[in-house]
Structure 1
Amino acid sequence: MSINNKKVDTLVVGSGQAGIAMSEHLSNLGIEHLVLEKNRIAEAWRTRRWDSLVANGPCWHDKFPNMDFPHDPDSFVPHGEVAEYFENYAKMIDAPIETGVEVQNVLKNKHKKGFTIETSQGTVVADNIVVATGPFQQPIIPKIAPQNKNLYQIHSDQYKNPNQLPEGAVLVVGAGSSGVQIASELNSAGKKVYLSVGPHERPPRKYRDRDNVWWLGVLGTWHETTPPQRPIKGFAVSGMNGGQSVDFRKMGHEGIQLVGMTKAFTDKTVSFNDDLVDNIVSAEQSYLDNLEEMDRYIESNGLELPEEPEAKILMDMPDAMKNPIHELDFDKDNITSIIWASGFGYNYNWLPFDIFQENGAPIHNKGVTSEPGLYFVGLPYLSGKGSSFIWGVWHDAKRIAEYIEIQRHYQHYQSSKKTE
């Protein structure tokens, strides 16, 4: 199919979970649309994940409503099979996706509605554009990163498995989902691992026979409209090994050397803030408070769920917490690698509109921007805590598709009054 000079009502950019969800809801409303993808369907799930990664939520929950995974509902699906799921879903809904087409620039049409979109395969004209390129656009390595050519440095986005790292110890910077899983895998592979732990959330993976995603649902947490703090804290939760609660004390006892938040580098050293204990204990207190809230919910709703008193018992502090390390020497401590689990930034250089914050994040109201016809879906906290998760994207896309349909009705209105 040639897309050059094609005209559509709505152009969707990106064919990951957000773009596919958007296509489904646009089709349900009879809105003509086209989805453009510069790589393959669900490419991030295919190639921008490490080999052993599984979804962070059980597959009874982390799915679209109209298709189940062919797995035990309580299992955590390998990332490659998540990609296959979305490819099959796109086929099921007959999504009009064109792969291998990169959107390069967008121009606002003069004196008429809509946009002209310049792509690697020609020009498309559309009344609306939905940006569905996801939250993991541009890996961020902080400016404090050392300029030491002897160190092997990669972002977690580039990590695949322990075999790609050189001999020697590794420093993992960041204690969110990616950092803790990578650190655990490297430790299990026999690597000496230093894990830099900053402020974070540490929910239980499962409590009293219910997964964390269930608790987020019944307690209303998924619908929190703004993050509780900025910048958003690391979210230490994992589906590894069938799903286990992240416990930094346990990681310390298993041989991972915990250190505080990374402070600064010289050519030969790295220093850390004296905040390791505070960061861990603060997250543990929130964890315990969370368990108490869950207990109250069970009692007030008369649920018969098994008691789990052991979940509230914390292990003794490992030596890393009792005697924190504040500095490491790359040579003396044989550190040859750094993995930056330091998050992602935005890259919308193909959208020359005045709708972005200084950090590149789009300014929007639940996905609707001040530029008529320009929308976003799939971003963290687009409408609530669940917005960047698989199931949350589906519901956000439905709302944005309905908004587009409402705007179409306004655009098609004609006055019943006749002019003389």
Structure 2
Amino acid sequence: MSLYDYFGVANPQELYDLITNDDPRVDDLQNFLTYAKQEISYESPKVFNYEALFKLVNSEQLIPRENEAYIIGFSTQRSPTYYAKISGDMSEKEVLNIAFKADIKSYAIVDHPNIFSQDQDGVIRDIDCNIGLIRGVYGNTARNCLDRISIYGEEGILPLRMYSHEAEEYETVDFMGYDHTADYKEFIIGNDSIYDLPEELTAASELSDFVGYYVAKELEGLNVYYDEQKIESLLCMKATMNRQEVFTVITYDDQLNINSVKDMFMGAYSNTVVDLAFVMDQVNKDQNKGFIVSHNHPSGGLRASKADIETTRALGRLGELFEKRLYDHYIASSRGVTSLAQERTPGASFLTMAKEREVDKYLLKLADTLEKQSAKLQDSPKKKQGRNI
């Protein structure tokens, strides 16, 4: 069932109208949108060596039984994003459905080696076959294996030991029993923010697209100076849903009110290619006074990369040439939003001064307009009292 069928509407605009009118039929979606605007505060472990990986295996009790293995995925910042348990008697399709994720940069394997089982067709199948399947798919999609951890010892006989094939080191497992293990888990990291939506909504392919539509509609008309906090909340909401980097251009008029929002480029999990000519073509219109650019980091990080800064500087120079000032560059994730202008990011510090100049000009113009309106009211003829004789 599509998202729009679920709510009995024909298109995004009709669903947007239900939300803005506080229709009770969309309470679940409304609550989710409110949640997604919030910055998610959490601490996630970083796995940069075998010791940190041992600690993760211990804390999550990732102890496979005989003929089983765990696949653990990691973000670009080496934080775990998910783990999934596979077994030797799963079909290739079952293994890929549960254990393959596009939004990771690397992965690790935890196995219980040298145990065989027999599937329904009577074929002897080793867990290594399915591990090899995952390794092959991830290898062909430029995801590297950090380590393979093997658990040695027999079930019911403690202590079990972990062995890192990469570091060639052992450590004892603080095993609490299989009642404390899980088959699957997604960590709160990047866009994988856990929220209890109805299954029909989480499975709806249009949900991410609709959130983008909703955000664009809500941004239009906002003032880039007075409504900055609301703008950042909306960008945070949008970033929560995006599993790939999306580069967005936002333009505003001479009153600093947003008049257009356009997603211009979509990339991979950790980068996107920006064509500056197309950006300026979108910006260089008579009704536009200036522009903002924004992109998301699906990994959850908010630090500007070297490429982010270079793009910002290039757009700043082009903006001056076209007389369309670059007001700010926002980097968004479910953790929140970073303003390169407010952060005075090294290499992009010109943004701070440019933003201040734009706001000062706007406030002076506003003060002048109010002063003229006040003078006009004072000079207007007063109503005559009584009659002329």
Q: Please say whether Structure 1 and Structure 2 have the same fold, judged by a TM-score greater than 0.5.
A: no
TM-score by length of 2: 0.25
* Structure with greater helix percent: 2
**TM-score for both structures, normalised by structure 1:** 0.24
